[in-house]
Structure 1
Amino acid sequence: MEFNAAEVAEFTRGEVVAGSPQALAVNWSFDTRTMGPESGFFALTSDRDGHEFVDQALAQGATVVVVSHLDAAFSVSPINQAVVRVDDPAIALRDLAISARSRLTGAVAVGITGSAGKTTTKDLAAAAIGTKKNVHANIKSFNNEVGTPLTLLSAPNDTEVLITEMGARFAGNITDLSELVQPQIGVITQIGMAHAEHLKGRSGIAAVKGELLAALPASGVAILNSDCDQSIELAKRTSARVLTVGRSDSADVVISDVVVDGDLKTHFNLSTSWGNSEVHLSLRGAHHVNNAGMAVAIALEIGVDLEEVVENLALVEPNELRMNVVCTDAGITIINDAYNSSPTSALAAIAALRDITVPGRRWAVLGEMLELGEYSDAEHQLIGKAVTDARIDKLITIGSGALALAQGATGGDVSVTSVADLPAAISILDSQLEPGDAVLIKASRAIGLEVIADHLLGRPVR
């Protein structure tokens, strides 16, 4: 979305202090590594101070930079670049996003939250709607106080459907994001234990996720998971119409006859008031079935025909590091689910490892699930028990934070090894993996287990 420097200054209560007020930005970023031409650059402060990169941004072609203080070293073209000074670039980013949202007067906004499945449901919903409408969705997992404003700022003016996933680590986060997005459709995929440390357990998580429902207008639609025991209470948070999706016969969109093939691809039947259909997915794992059901509900509410929705869903491929199934030249099957981990998604991944058809052994290489706080040991032990119940052959846990996971797996038939770091895990795998084996790789994002997958696949280390 286009804003010139003068407009940026007006909407953020700042001032143009260098360059031309007519300098125009058409893309927006806070990261010079991903910045395109004619970009607006916000000098945000987190692990690094974004002001350290302003010169680099300008040299790479940024046309408008938003800062809180000036540096004499800034080199600004007087014709097509500008510097806007504001009190706080993070607040300015939000303020400009509010202006961007106000331009999308005809767009239907969809907010998606939940303890797992947000990104997949968002991607499936965008695909399901297809070319029927002009759809704009957040990239990757841009779902917080920085990613959501950037999603709004990157929306084309002719956007008809805006899809945003909403993450939360603290109470009030989703209320803040909803004020920006102004959703008419709100989706809660499920309530698990992700971020339990900050959100005070499952009931606290439900309360925060329910902020999305409270933000919906009475004319809106809340889409809830009928298989989640929190949904009945969540429905009380909204005056909007409630649509349920799940495997219960009482759901509005009923999922039935789920089949998972040996490659982890699924097909299932859907029964809806819009009609009935069989759905085939290329995504791997039975847990994607409910995500797909939610996406179908969104698309049907938007006005897409069921037949078209089903055709579109069949074409969706998995995102990087999310249930990517690849066979190495050595004949070893890698289930790379290293993007992130929570109790809910870890259980789903273990089920996938159980279900995949391979002639050899099944290995689970698991690291810590972060941000569980006082619930950490109990939740890790439950995952360890799930590994045993799934009859996995080998379990490698990595790091001291995953020791409780190893403890949960003791006493069963699984062979358990705990190692301190990634190199130790790689050494075991290199020496013991055999053709025909399958390896699941999963941990919270900060653990960096994708390095193991890259090694086994012969890729350069990231």
Structure 2
Amino acid sequence: MFTWDVASICAATEATLLTANSDRVVRGVAIDSREVTTDGLFVAFSGEHVDGNAYAPAAIQNGAGCVVLTSAPTDELLVLAAEKKCAIVRAAHDDGEEFMLRLAQAWREIHANWFVVGVTGSVGKTTTKDMLAAAISARYTTHATKGNFNNLIGLPLTLLSAPEDTQVIVAEMGMNHFGEITRLAAVAHPTLAVITNVGTSHIGLLGSRENIAKAKAEIVSGMVQDSLEGMQIKPCLYLVSSDDFSTYIDTQYAQPSGIVTSYIGTSIDDNLSARNIKLTDEGYVSCDVYYENGDIQQAQLPIPGKHLISDYLLALAVADKLNINHQASIEAIQNMPQTHMRLEIVGGKDKPRMIDDSYNASPSSMAAALDVLTSLPCKGKRVAVLGEMGEMGDMAVQLHNYVGAYAAAKPLDMLVLIGSEFVGGMREAAITMGMSDDKIETFETVDAAVGALKPILESNDLVLAKASRSSALDLFVKGVLA
């Protein structure tokens, strides 16, 4: 756990101490006043909708040892802080984000013994991170990003929350703009890194897939050689051979930076590959994993969906690099808990079975989820409930229509579209591609969809709920199963 005195915190971040207790020692970091523990550090952010500075008194009452403000304190707050012996610090330039990055970078430098694996990509980051953490935990004490805390605030929280006995940190790195992964990599300094794919997520912010590839490739800028249990390990970037931007990232970014690359896929030319791939009746993939040293292991993925093979292989490849027993890493992934709202199968008995994949969405993950829906056994109706995708920018109409067209090619009994901006185009695209109009239902709200569908869905039906998080299709799942 993060444990440091206030004077050192201010020196590392160029923050200003507004009270006299520079020797105060704090333990743990929180950005939510409700999560502050005794002697904890609370960092207040001035957001669009909520001003964290307003919660500083609550943090102090909850036992905070230090509060970092991004605006001037009131006299009342200073009086309360003095009464509770809580240090008050003001972040340089009132920038809470930069405060967190500098603090985490300084803490990482102190913990040079941590070995870091970085994870980025358009789709599959969190699933790959979870698989990596499971596989690596088969041998090493491992700490990983919680949920999808992968941004300029989330990654610092990951590093600052690592237990003292941590050997390996698996750090997920997301981005919305150029330069963000460069900054994250400079804080975390990964030695091994994976790029799951280059898709269309955030294309509305970056403009093209090539720009997305460039932004993801920034991870090589912070990669460093490191050691783990006496092994000297050179920086290595793991790429998916079937991704059309992998060679571009390799030749334009990895090689010029002196970073070795390793490819995974389904070809004999890949450094690690899956072959003899089969799909079970329940939609799970079984395959033979071919390792670079000639070892062959039988494996089955713990989550349904053929699209997860590359995520799985990336995790096994990194585990192999860290000299983790092949069978042990496979078994560790097989036994890992499933991430909530990511192809999670819920319901059953007297309720319809539902594939809850409502956490996030892009065109490629929409297609993959539809593939899972149509590969699983179903005695009743097969229903796809799709919401809208965020951050598609100028290509939003086109990409949503692609999803509608793809859905039309699947053997669905019903296609349900929820939203107000793009569902009309999705519906028309599905009809154009041959889907019957009477198989398609559209709703503007989740509540309306629940009201109409709950009475007609039966226990032997199989229902997919898939959209970006902002569409709140998790409420559809809860509503139907309530």
The TM-score bracket by the shorter chain reads over 0.9
Superposed, 1:7-26 pairs within 5 Å as 7-18=8-19, 20-26=21-27
1:53 counterpart residue number:
55
Tell me what 2:283 maps to: 264
Q: Distance in 2 between matches of 1:286 and 1:37?
A: 46
Match of 1:248 among 252, 267, 286: 267
Where in structure 2 are the equivalents of 1:96-245 lying within 5 Å? 96-217=103-224, 219-236=234-251, 237-238=253-254, 239-245=258-264
Of 76, 84, 89, the residue aligned with 2:89 is 84
CA contact (8 A) 1:174 1:208 kept: yes
Percent identity, please.
28
- Aligned partner of 1:70 in structure 2 is 73
User: Residues 323-373 of structure 1, C-alpha deviation per residue, up to 9 Å, x if partnerless?
Assistant: 110124424111000011111211111111011111011111111111111
Q: Find 1:429's aligned residue among 448, 453, 463.
A: 453
The runs of at least 4 aligned residues of structure 1 exceeding 4 Å deviation read 77-80
Between the aligned partners of 1:331 and 1:265, the Cα distance in structure 2 is 22
The answer on whether the counterparts of 1:6 and 1:21 sit within 8 Å (CA) in structure 2 is yes
Mapped contact 2:138–2:332 kept (Cα < 8 A): no
Structure 1: tracts of 5 or more residues without a match: none
- Other structure's SS at 2:76 match: coil
The match for 2:426 among 405, 429, 443 is 405
C-alpha distance in 1 between matches for 2:306 and 2:34? 36
Structure 2 residue aligned with 1:451: 475
Deviation at 1:257, TM superposition (A): 2.1
TM-score, structure 1 normalization: 0.95
How far has the Cα of 1:84 moved from its partner? 1.6
Deviation at 1:207? 1.2
Q: CA deviation at 1:117?
A: 0.5
Match of 2:358 in 1: 338
- Residue segments in structure 2 that go unaligned for 5+ positions in a row: 226-233
Say if 1:365 and 1:396, in contact at 8 Å, map to a contact too: yes
SS in 2 for 1:283: coil
What secondary structure sits across from 2:68 in the alignment?
strand
TM-score where L is the length of structure 2: 0.91
Equivalent residues of 1:281, 1:316 under 8 A apart: no
Moved more, 14-23 or 185-194: 14-23
32-41 or 185-194, larger mean C-alpha shift: 32-41
Kept in 1, the 8 Å contact 2:351–2:481? The answer is no
SS at match of 2:341: coil
SS of alignment partner, residue 106 of structure 1: coil
Distance (Å, rounded) in 2 between the aligned partners of 1:337 and 1:73 = 47
Q: Please name the residue that 2:231 is paired with.
A: none
**CA–CA distance in structure 1, aligned partners of residues 311 and 35 of structure 2:** 29
Shift of 1:266: 2.6
Structure 1, residues 116-154: CA drift from partner, whole Å, max 9, x if none? 000111111010011411212110001111101111111
CA distance in 1, matches of 2:355, 2:32: 30
Provide the C-alpha distance between the structure 2 equivalents of 1:172 and 1:14, rounded to a whole number of angstroms.
23
1-structure distance, mates of 2:391, 2:46: 22
3-state DSSP of counterpart to 1:358: coil
Q: 1:101 to 1:257 in 2, by over 3 A?
A: same
Q: Does the 8 Å CA contact 1:104/1:159 hold for their aligned counterparts?
A: no
Distance 1:192 1:14 in 2: 39
Shift in Å, 1:232: 0.9
How far the C-alpha of 1:160 sits from its partner, in A, is 1.8
- The one-letter amino acid paired with 1:17 is L
- Change in 2 beyond 3 A, CA 1:266/1:32: farther
**C-alpha separation in 2, matches of 1:64 and 1:132:** 37
CA distance in 2, matches of 1:22, 1:387: 62
Deviation by residue 1:253-298 (Cα, 9 ceiling, x = unmatched): 1111222323333322110124221112322222222111101111
Corresponding residue for residue 420 of structure 1: 444
Distance 2:207 2:401 in 1: 19
Q: 2: distance between equivalents of 1:25 and 1:141?
A: 26
1:287 match: secondary structure: helix
Provide the C-alpha distance between the structure 2 equivalents of 1:111 and 1:362, rounded to a whole number of angstroms: 38
Structure 2 residue identity aligned to 1:168: M
Name the aligned partner's letter for residue 479 of structure 2.
H
Q: How many residues align?
A: 458
For 1:49, the aligned partner's letter is D
Change in CA separation of 1:436 and 1:13 when aligned onto 2, cut-off 3 Å: same
The aligned amino acid for 2:260 is: R
